[in-house]
């Protein structure tokens, strides 16, 4: 017991003799910047003050029951008088079965630079029940507001595309080309769009016609053109039935063709695949008794026609993907036939 007590006392004395070292904490001297700047807070406060969020009524009942009801009534009378003088609307009898469009009064106080009320403004805004209006539908910043003022290239191309898909195979190529530059359209693209719109306006009375015939036959025409930007060719085809077009397409090829023959052959491959599906689809409708076969596909390149009819491989065709050789198989099996046609006789599907 005595030894333990002595040992404990010695340990206590040793701890008392240990010098105390004060360590100073390092603090950054950089100026702290708040997450939301003071200027931004002031801007919000001024904005709230200017538009009168705290005092402006949000409905007709609030305006009538407010302390400034006389001023709001006078503002509404001025607004109605202005609409009547400018002949904004005509009073007519409501037809039977027709519902009226509702309206809403918008009340806003105008302030001067010192914050004093300068004018009480009331305006009528037509709304429809069920319409959704929220801040998410508004531009978020100045850049988005500027973008809203730009020329509506995408909307115009979408309208043209609707006409192309339904009744205008002759503009299939130009619509595809215009669609490639929608991410960054320029003034030249807009001029091209207006040119197509003028063409559609001048041909609005034209229509697709089909003639009665005893021998129903699907005939295809394939062609291509190149792109100077990507060096990828654009395939196009159109299929005729009863002397009228029933299906057409124009789109960019997925590979870069090294020769005209290769580009034409790829176009024939895409036309062949669609021709087989189209014949099966028309036959499956059971609207007609039968369709003559083999299906004829016309091409204006004689080298492509020869390449599709034999199994010989030339030096310029060794690199062609094996999947495109299905055209040879379909030709040998009598499903389709690739025939040559002069360029002035070919349908201009571009």
Co-location of 314 and 253 in the same domain: yes
Could you give the 3-state DSSP secondary structure of residue 117?
strand
- 129-181 pLDDT, tens digit per residue, is 454 434 444 445 666 556 645 678 788 888 888 888 888 888 888 888 888 77
What are φ and ψ of residue 253, in 5° steps?
-70, 155
* Cis status of the peptide bond prior to 294, with omega within 30 of 0: yes
What are φ and ψ of residue 248, in 5° steps?
-155, 160
In a domain, 253, yes or no: yes
Instruction: Supply the DSSP string of 196-207, one letter for each residue.
Output: HHHHHHHTTT--
Co-location of 234 and 121 in the same domain: no
* Strand pairing class (219-226; 295-299): parallel
Co-location of 122 and 192 in the same domain: no
- 95-119 pLDDT, tens digit per residue, is 887 777 667 787 888 777 677 787 8
Domain that holds residue 162: 153-202
Q: What CATH number does the domain containing 287 carry? A: 3.30.420.10
In a domain, 92, yes or no: no
Q: Contact at 8 Å (CB) between 122 and 76?
A: yes
The kind and range of the H/E element at 103 are strand 103-111
Q: What is the CA radius of gyration of the chain?
A: 39
- 57-67 pLDDT, tens digit per residue, is 888 888 888 88
What was the pLDDT predicted at 36?
42
In a domain, 303, yes or no: yes
Regions of the chain short of the pLDDT cut 70: 1-28, 30-55, 88, 101-102, 113, 124-150, 183-184, 186-187, 215-218, 220, 222-231, 258, 287-292, 313-319, 343-350
Co-location of 272 and 307 in the same domain: yes
The kind and range of the H/E element at 206 are none
């Amino acid at each position: 017991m005595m030894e333990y007590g002595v040992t404990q006392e010695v340990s206590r004395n040793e701890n008392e003799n240990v010098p105390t070292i004060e360590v100073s904490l390092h603090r950054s001297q950089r100026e702290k910047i708040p997450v939301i700047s003071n200027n931004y807070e002031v801007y919000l406060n001024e904005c709230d003050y200017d538009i009168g969020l705290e005092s402006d009524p949000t409905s007709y009942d609030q305006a009538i029951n407010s302390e400034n009801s006389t001023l709001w009534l006078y503002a509404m009378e001025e607004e109605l008088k202005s609409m009547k003088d400018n002949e904004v609307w005509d009073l007519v009898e409501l037809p039977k079965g027709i519902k009226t469009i509702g309206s809403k009064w918008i009340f806003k106080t105008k302030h001067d630079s010192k914050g004093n009320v300068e004018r009480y403004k009331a305006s009528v805004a037509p709304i429809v029940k069920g319409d959704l209006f929220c801040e998410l539908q508004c531009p978020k910043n100045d850049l988005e507001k500027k973008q809203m003022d730009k020329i509506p290239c995408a909307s115009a191309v979408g309208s043209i595309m609707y006409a192309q898909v339904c009744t205008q195979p002759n503009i299939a190529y130009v619509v595809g080309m215009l669609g490639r530059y929608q991410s960054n359209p320029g003034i030249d693209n807009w001029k091209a769009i207006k040119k197509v719109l003028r063409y559609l306006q001048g041909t609005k009375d034209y229509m697709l016609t089909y003639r009665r015939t005893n021998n129903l036959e699907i005939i295809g025409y394939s062609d291509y053109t190149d792109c100077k930007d990507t060096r990828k060719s654009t395939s196009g085809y159109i299929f005729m039935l009863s002397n009228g077009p029933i299906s057409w397409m124009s789109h960019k090829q997925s590979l870069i063709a090294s020769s005209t023959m290769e580009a034409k052959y790829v176009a024939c491959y895409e036309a062949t695949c669609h021709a087989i599906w189209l014949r099966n689809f028309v036959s499956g409708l059971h609207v007609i008794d039968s369709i003559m076969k083999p299906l004829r596909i016309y091409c204006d390149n004689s080298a492509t026609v020869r390449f599709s009819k034999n199994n010989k491989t030339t030096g310029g065709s060794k690199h062609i993907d094996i999947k495109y050789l299905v055209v040879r198989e379909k030709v040998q099996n009598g499903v389709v036939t690739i025939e040559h046609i002069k360029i002035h006789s070919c349908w201009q599907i571009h």
